[in-house]
Structures are given as C-alpha cells and as structure tokens.
A and B are shown apart, each in its own frame.
Chain A
C-alpha cells in the first residue's frame, strides 16, 4: 500500500448504529487529520493529531469520536449519527505537525457516508 488509505470506501448506516472509519498513512508523516466534505461547502476540519496527540477539535459533536493509536493509524468512531452527517469523510496526513509553515497535506480516497 502507498500513500493514504481509508476503509470502508462507502458506508450506509442507520441512526442507531455504531461504526468506525479507518485511515492508514504510509508516508512516514507525523500529523493526521479528519475532514468532512459536504456538497458545495469548504472542507471542514474535524480533528488534528500531531505525534498521536490531539491538538484540534473544531467543535465537533460527541457522536464523532477520534482515536489515534500511533502516527500511522487514525480512526473515527461513529454512533447515533443524524442524516445531516451524510458526507464524504476524508483523512489526510502531513509531515509538518502544524507548527511549520509548509503543511502540505495528502488525502486518502475518502469514505462516502450515508445516514438513513
């Protein structure tokens, strides 16, 4: 595997289900990110991890719960979601942990989530 991978690629879940999204980066980066992308809206940053430590949580509802066991893996645990949470969820990684100027981010293919 190369780059950033995400599983599953598509997910349909009911409002009472619990599911998890998985992201793995093979780039040797130090920082990982979860973004939400809804139609015709800018990317919304959800969570940032630098060296496994969470450094940003942009007022995300508690029904989204991130986990970062190491610098290569990132999870997003989902429970009791709402239909408005349907979106493309993107994982990204970068070499710079947020305190450097460059901060080039590389994205996985995303998980298309539909909440019914």
Chain B
C-alpha cells in the first residue's frame, strides 16, 4: 500500500527561527509533491508544489525534494506565530487500477511557533 509518513508533532519552534518539516513516501514512481497548511477548524490550503529534485523557494518557504531518498521537506524561515498550523504533505502517485493519479496524504505535522 502506498504511504506518506509525517511526524505528528507537535513541533515547537521559537519565533524567528527556521521550522523544518519532513515527509517520506513509499512509491518511488511518484512525480509531484505538495505541502498544504491547515489552520484549526479550517480546510487545507496549498502553499507549495515541487516536481523536480532540489530546492524551490517561495518567500519564506522552501520545499526540498530528494527522489532517491524518497523524502520531501518544507522549511519556513523567520517563523511567525501565524505559521502555527498543521502542515500536510501530499504525494501524487499512480493508482494501481487504471493509470489515474491520486493524491496520497500524510496525517500532518502540527507546528507551534512560540513568541
């Protein structure tokens, strides 16, 4: 069964520091990877997508992908209290049935930024 693993946390980081969130996946054939942020009581919001090995930067966020090691990470620089949320990793992978792609989700890491 294809899986996506995340540490559930909570991960506590002081304000202004770098928060590092990690995700591993089981399907070596996965092609695209996403980070979503979910505030308590709200729906997931797409914040980063990455398709190639290496780093992708967007403002204070950097996604890192290493397909050989089957992990993807999200770095948040200059962490703010407003970054406190649950971060979901999602991996796009082929289903075994009919060549459709489907997002496989991790259970999320709860991040707490302490002022």
Contact = CB atoms under 8 A, between A and B. Distances in A.
B107 interface: yes
A2 to B, nearest CB: 14
- Among A48, A100, A102, A103, the most chain B Cβ lie within 10 Å of the Cβ of A103
A42 B59 CA distance: 27
B107 A42 contact: yes
A107 B45 contact: yes
Nearest to B100: A98
B42 A105 contact: no
A34 B103 CA distance: 12
A70 B103 CA distance: 22
Interface string B94-115: 0100111111011110000000
A43 B99 contact: no
Q: Range of interface residues on chain A?
A: 20 to 34
Interface residues of B, number: 26
B31 interface: yes
A45 B103 contact: yes
Contacts of B32: 101-103
A55 interface: yes
Interface in B12-41: 31-32, 34
Interface of A: 40-43, 45, 48, 55-56, 88, 90, 96, 98-110
Given A56-B100, A105-B103, A107-B45, 11 more contacts: A41-B107, A43-B44, A55-B100, A56-B102, A90-B44, A98-B100, A99-B100, A101-B32, A103-B103, A108-B43, A109-B43
Interface of B: 4, 8, 31-32, 34, 42-46, 49, 51, 88, 90, 92, 95, 98-103, 105-108
9 contacts: A42-B108, A56-B102, A101-B31, A102-B92, A103-B92, A103-B103, A105-B90, A109-B42, A109-B43
Shortest beta-carbon contacts, A-B, top 3: A98-B100, A107-B43, A43-B105
